[in-house]
Structure 1
């Protein structure tokens, strides 16, 4: 990934740089990978789990312990830009004062700004920008990293050009990562499968005339929403209606009266070690099956909706409704007949798009499904334990230091996961390495994960952070968030005022999200403001 130039001001507009890794992928993968997608969501009625909301509810529900709650997705934008090597995409926004904090400071408690409407341009970048010195960084970061709101901080700042650490604090000491775990899950998937790999959902002939078997293949984005309706994952995901059309055509004159559901692809316990019993099903976590609709959400268009208790059967019900079948049930433990006639099959979004959506939504269910697919590809058990072990093995085989890595899941919901900032920083640094003569195959494989990092103030779980007037990192920081009780993380990339790209991993503990998140935002904003010589 190339470095960005500082923002250029023209009149009363400000151009703010966003980067898209210059990785060539085969084919026209999807709107997420080849263009710009703006997706808005209605403000939800209640907070979900996994990552606490920016503004917690005034009175938590008695039935739902507030251990893990994910941030509100209000007016979210997915900002995805394709740029050529040696250029950086930027967007120009007006009015600047409202969106990017140019001018008087905003009141910290003001509502999040409306979604921005960017105009895109290309500017050249500086490949040889001198980076900050260790002493300069330490001086610039000292006020923000020592703030009481940060709590106990494990952190590292890395130069992607050299892979060298520029600054660290307990960077080699493992800490609870929360959802920043998904960075490792994404890396393992990209190092296991081609970027355009897809997962296939199949319908085969059943054991009796008029029966069919719906076989799950690991696609969390399969949907039953009508054609022309965008989902949380994509504008054109695999649809049950298309699968049903194939079945009707291939079944000929035989009326389909029974749908059997095969979810035997995955095994193991229902919840991971380190999860609460209330984590699945919840509004942020669910039972992990290889067959589901829209990540198992009860409302496919609401990221914060409750996950269903039996996602595979729900998918079977949707297919039955399309086919006019009156009976839906699970197959026995033997699964589908190996020689069953294929009546229909449909492919998921490409892997890079599934990863991007998983990261931007911080989708715990999708992360666990990807880990199980990595395990299957490696011949391991497709379970929480098998997925976690496979992630560790893939990273180790690709040269990362896994000596202190402990994983119980792939999503970060488990409070038993332990990751060092150094490992997160190394993965991000290699993904963001400049695409030059020193680039490696591993770097090229990892690069697509960068579009899954949310843009501060613009997309994903950073949409309503870095409020206008309060943070210089707005529009410049791209990061994955993470939150559990008294645990908050932020890991990603940022470009400083001199055009130097830096990767960072910040893992905080001991303070709650309402104070820790703004404190971590200030740390990364200090990086953005840095020249730090």
Structure 2
């Protein structure tokens, strides 16, 4: 018998039978499974139909980013000064020039989101600057995109996973709000903001209740504002809640936090945060670079995109692709660049319609066939190692850490999840018991049952894929 036996009707029959379960009756299901070793489709079910991909879109964003930018690409964010320095006083402005960098955050600095600002403050001190008469001016003109992607839900707007993009971004453009009970019943609840508060406004109407009392705390954000209203109450013995909230005008927020860091380091600023410059202000005569922050390489950034499924990092990369390839950092240019990339790898671009880089929009549509075509291409790409390394490992890390925690899937399957209301998807790679490498896409939309049941079905499909080849 050859190392990889031809697929029999067994695999097709087993999976087809599984998909007939009553619980899936109203669901829209699409699957394609390809043997990378034999270059052969082993199973196809509605593989040419279109589905909402959710975060499976990130596979295209990351693959195109590696191709267009290379794994060694780094972002550069510059801190500049404009004006003269006399007796420790900068008579002029500080200028921050954004480049779309998503890494000025705790994700990349051992949990310290202000590390870059602290380094910049030290650079200013080393250059002899103790006071600034002007403003902190922020140039965000590298991107000219709408802050939120096309088709993003208003329901998602307050949450960190729906944070707006900006060419100068800080802390994933989010802020942590921690609410805990006061010392005694009747006291207001306590609220802590990290890092902050920036320009966040807190309206605290919530009270501390008696032990074992009702927990009906509500943390709400006014649409398109940085005003958070807290109502209801927490029992006095409650551990509290911590939520991540998306910030409006993120460049302004970052500038305000930088101003606070400067003050902590003894550097005063007389002016204000001037963050309204989407048209660009850098390049004027008399500017001097004080410090340049260089991000980790793209090969590290994409681990946050795929393993952690960071919508924010995906959107920043998506818009960077548009800027670098098309000269425009907006959603239309970026989507065009990724569609062109899909055509270049030999996939049918008609099978891909995307409007953002994260998959948060329900306007996105893809087929299982085009996902597997991408995975097949990447398996033969010079960048396969970094692409494969960016995917979550079943039962080990990322969005698959708490899924598929037992052999033979644990540590074997590498994939990208995709989840939103009534959507559960998984695409990636797995190796069979016989050593055959498979690429697969499993997309399930429009289900009406418990998402955990759908997740269990996806796991059962994956388990069937890795049975010994001679049982197919």
Aligned positions, number = 389
The one of 11, 22, 26 aligned to 1:137: 11
- Counterpart in the other structure of 2:281: 336
Structure 1, 327-336 or 385-394: larger mean CA deviation: 327-336
Contact persistence 1:492–1:504 (CA under 8 A): yes
Measured after TM superposition, the shift of residue 278 of structure 1 is 2.9
- 1:111-510 to 2 correspondence within 5 Å? 129-130=3-4, 133=7, 135-150=9-24, 151-206=27-82, 209-223=91-105, 229-230=110-111, 239-250=116-127, 252-253=128-129, 255-257=131-133, 258-299=135-176, 305-324=244-263, 325-326=268-269, 327-339=272-284, 340-433=287-380, 443-466=381-404, 468=406, 472-510=408-446
SS at structure 2 position matched to 1:361 = coil
Contact persistence 1:455–1:475 (CA under 8 A): yes
Measured after TM superposition, the shift of residue 161 of structure 1 is 2.8
SS at structure 1 position matched to 2:396 = coil
- Deviation sequence 1:329-375 (CA, Å, 0-9, x none): 31534422314321111111100111111111111111111011101
Contact persistence 1:372–1:384 (CA under 8 A): yes
Measured after TM superposition, the shift of residue 482 of structure 1 is 0.5
User: Using a 3 Å threshold, how does the CA distance of structure 1 residues 140 and 335 change in structure 2: closer, same or farther?
Assistant: same
Contact persistence 1:218–1:373 (CA under 8 A): yes
- Cα distance in 1 for partners of 2:46, 2:112 equals 41
User: Using a 3 Å threshold, how does the CA distance of structure 1 residues 317 and 477 change in structure 2: closer, same or farther?
Assistant: same
User: Using a 3 Å threshold, how does the CA distance of structure 1 residues 417 and 248 change in structure 2: closer, same or farther?
Assistant: same
Measured after TM superposition, the shift of residue 304 of structure 1 is 6.2
TM-score, reference length from structure 1: 0.67
Higher share of residues assigned strand: 2
Measured after TM superposition, the shift of residue 463 of structure 1 is 1.5
- Cα distance in 2 for partners of 1:172, 1:405 equals 11
Contact persistence 2:144–2:278 (CA under 8 A): no
Query: Any unmatched runs of 5+ in structure 2?
Result: 84-89, 177-193, 196-240
TM-score, reference length from structure 2: 0.76
User: Using a 3 Å threshold, how does the CA distance of structure 1 residues 245 and 134 change in structure 2: closer, same or farther?
Assistant: farther
Contact persistence 1:145–1:523 (CA under 8 A): no
- Cα distance in 1 for partners of 2:304, 2:347 equals 25
Contact persistence 2:345–2:377 (CA under 8 A): no
Measured after TM superposition, the shift of residue 279 of structure 1 is 2.5
- Cα distance in 2 for partners of 1:143, 1:453 equals 29
SS at structure 1 position matched to 2:349 = coil
- Cα distance in 1 for partners of 2:243, 2:6 equals 41
- Cα distance in 2 for partners of 1:196, 1:487 equals 34
Measured after TM superposition, the shift of residue 392 of structure 1 is 0.9
User: Using a 3 Å threshold, how does the CA distance of structure 1 residues 351 and 419 change in structure 2: closer, same or farther?
Assistant: same
- Counterpart in the other structure of 1:49: none
User: Using a 3 Å threshold, how does the CA distance of structure 1 residues 313 and 307 change in structure 2: closer, same or farther?
Assistant: same
The alignment yields a C-alpha RMSD, in angstroms, of 2.7
SS at structure 2 position matched to 1:341 = strand
- Cα distance in 1 for partners of 2:391, 2:23 equals 24
Contact persistence 2:137–2:273 (CA under 8 A): yes
- Cα distance in 2 for partners of 1:449, 1:225 equals 19
SS at structure 1 position matched to 2:253 = helix
SS at structure 2 position matched to 1:316 = helix
